A and B are shown apart, each in its own frame.
Chain A
Amino acid sequence: MIALLLLFSCDGPPVEAEPEGSLFVPLGSARLARRISIDLRGQLPSREELAIAAEAGGIDTLTEQWLEDPAFEPHLAELLAEEWLLRLDTLRVDTSEFDLPTGDSYAFTRAFGDEPARLVAHVAALDRPFTDIVTTDVTMANAMLLELAPLEAVDPTSTAPWQEARYTDGRPANGILSTSGLWLRYHTTIFNFNRGRASALARLLLCYDFAARPVLFKDIADESTEGLEAAITGEPGCVACHAALDPLAGTLFGFWPVEDLDGNELIGYFPERERLGEYYTGSAPAYWGTPVTAAAQLGPLVASDPRFPVCMARQAAERLLDRPTDEGDNLLVYDARDALVAGWNYKDLLRHLLKTEEYRAGELSSAASEADRERVHPLRRLSPNKLASVVEALTGYRWLYDHTDMLDGDLVGLRSLAGGADGETVKKPYLDPSASRTLVVRRLAQAAAGTVVRDDLELDRESRRLVGTTVDDFTSIQPNSAAFDTEVEALATAIFAEPLDDTEHAALRGLYRAVLVEGDSAEAWATVVSVMLRDPQFWTY
Chain B
Amino acid sequence: MQPVSLLLLLACVEDAEVHTSSTADDSGDTDWFVAPVVTPVLAAEEVEAEGERALREGMIFPLELPVWVDELLAEFKHDDRQDCVKPMSSLDQPDTWTLYGRVNCTGAVHDLAGYWLLESVHQQLDPGTSQLRIVQLYSFWGELVATGEAVEGGGAVQMSVETSSDLIHVASEHGGHFVDPAFAGLLAGGVSGSVRTEGFYRRQQGFDGTIEGSVEGGGARVDLQDIRFTPGCTGPVGTLAVRDPSSGWWTIELDASCSGCGPLTWQGEVRGESCLGVTLAGVVTATLDGVLDNPP
Name the B residues within 8 Å of A131 (CB-CB): 19-20
Query: Which residues in window 220-273 of B have CB below 8 A to A?
Result: 221, 223, 241, 243, 245-249, 267-268
Bound form: Cα–Cα A309–B15 in Å: 11
Q: Is the CB of A300 within 8 A of B9?
A: no
Interface-located stretch among A13-21, A73-81, A289-297, A458-466: A289-297
In whole angstroms, what is the CA distance A305 to B16 when docked?
A: 9
**In the assembled complex, how far is the CB of residue B179 from the closest CB belonging to chain A, in whole angstroms?**
12
Whether A327 touches B1, Cβ cut-off 8 Å, given contacts A304-B20, A306-B10, is yes
Asked if B58 CB lies within 8 Å of chain A CBs, one says no
Instruction: Tell me if B17 and A306 are in contact (CB < 8 A).
Output: yes
CB neighbours of B18 from chain A (8 A)? 309, 341-342
Q: Give the CA-CA distance A288 to B2 in the complex, in Å.
A: 16
Contacts of A309 in B (CB 8 A): 18-19
Task: Tell me if B28 is interfacial: C-beta within 8 Å of chain A.
Answer: no
| Alpha-carbon gap, A374 to B201, bound state (A) | 81
Q: Which of B1-41 contact A (CB under 8 A)?
A: 1-3, 6, 9-10, 13, 15-22, 24, 32-36, 38
Known: A288-B33, A294-B246, A304-B33. A213 touches B21 (CB 8 A): no
B214 within 8 A of A: yes
Q: Which residues of A contact B221 (CB under 8 A)?
A: 170, 271-272
Cβ of A489 under 8 Å from chain B: no
Judged by a CB distance under 8 angstroms, whether B193 is at the interface is yes
CA of A309 to CA of B22, assembled, Å? 13
Chain A residue at smallest Cβ distance from B13: A334
Contacts of A289 in B (CB 8 A): 33
Q: Is the CB of A290 within 8 A of B33?
A: yes
A131 → chain B closest CB, angstroms: 6
Measured between alpha carbons, how far is A306 from B32 in the docked complex, in Å?
Answer: 8
Of the candidates B19, B22, B34, the one having the most CB atoms from chain A within 10 angstroms of its own CB is: B19
A342: B residues at CB distance < 8 A: 18
B249 contact from A275, A290, A291, A330, Cβ within 8 A: A275
Known A-B contacts A213-B3, A300-B36, A306-B10; A294 and B20 likewise in contact (beta carbons under 8 Å): no
CA distance A306 to B1 in the complex (A): 15
Contact check, B223 vs A275: say whether CB atoms are below 8 A apart. yes
CB neighbours of A326 from chain B (8 A): 1
Chain A residue numbers with a CB within 8 Å of B247 are 170, 172, 271, 274, 294-297
A344 sits at the interface (CB 8 A): yes
If A327-B1, A344-B19 touch, whether A294 touches B214 (CB-CB below 8 Å) is no
Interface check A208, CB cutoff 8 A = yes
Instruction: Tell me the complex Cα distance, A326–B1, Å.
Output: 7
CB A269 to nearest CB in B, in angstroms, measures 10
Number of contacts between A and B (CB, 8 Å)?
102
> In the complex, are the beta carbons of A303 and B243 less than 8 A apart?
no
Q: How many residues of B contact A (CB 8 A)?
A: 36
For residue A287, CB closer than 8 A to chain B, the reply is yes
**Complex CA–CA separation, A102 to B22 (angstroms):** 48
A172 to B244, CA, bound (A): 11
Choose among B3, B15, B35 the residue that contacts A297 (Cβ–Cβ < 8 A).
B35
Contact B19 A297 (CB under 8 A): no
Taking CB as reference atom, which chain B residue is nearest A314?
A: B1
- Residues of B close to A292: CB separation below 8 A: 35
Q: How far is the CB of B252 from chain A (nearest CB, A)?
A: 15
Query: Which residues on the B side are within 8 Å of A307 (C-beta)?
Result: 6, 10
A338 in the interface (beta carbon within 8 A) = yes
Which residues in window 277-291 of A have CB below 8 A to B?
287-291
Check if A243 is an interface residue, CB within 8 A of chain B. Answer: no
Q: Closest CB-CB distance, B154 to chain A, in whole Å?
A: 15
Return 26 A-B CB contacts under 8 Å, by A number: A131-B20, A170-B216, A172-B247, A214-B2, A271-B247, A274-B247, A275-B223, A290-B33, A290-B35, A293-B38, A294-B246, A294-B247, A294-B267, A296-B38, A300-B20, A300-B36, A301-B35, A303-B20, A304-B20, A304-B22, A305-B33, A306-B24, A309-B18, A341-B15, A341-B18, A344-B19
Chain A: residues with CB nearer than 8 A to chain B?
131, 170, 172, 208, 213-214, 271-272, 274-275, 287-297, 300-301, 303-307, 309-310, 326-327, 330, 334, 338, 341-342, 344
Chain B interface (Cβ within 8 Å of chain A)? 1-3, 6, 9-10, 13, 15-22, 24, 32-36, 38, 193, 214, 216, 221, 223, 241, 243, 245-249, 267-268
Known: A290-B34, A304-B22. 13 other contacts (CB 8 A): A170-B245, A170-B247, A272-B216, A275-B241, A290-B33, A293-B268, A294-B249, A295-B247, A301-B36, A304-B21, A306-B22, A310-B10, A326-B1
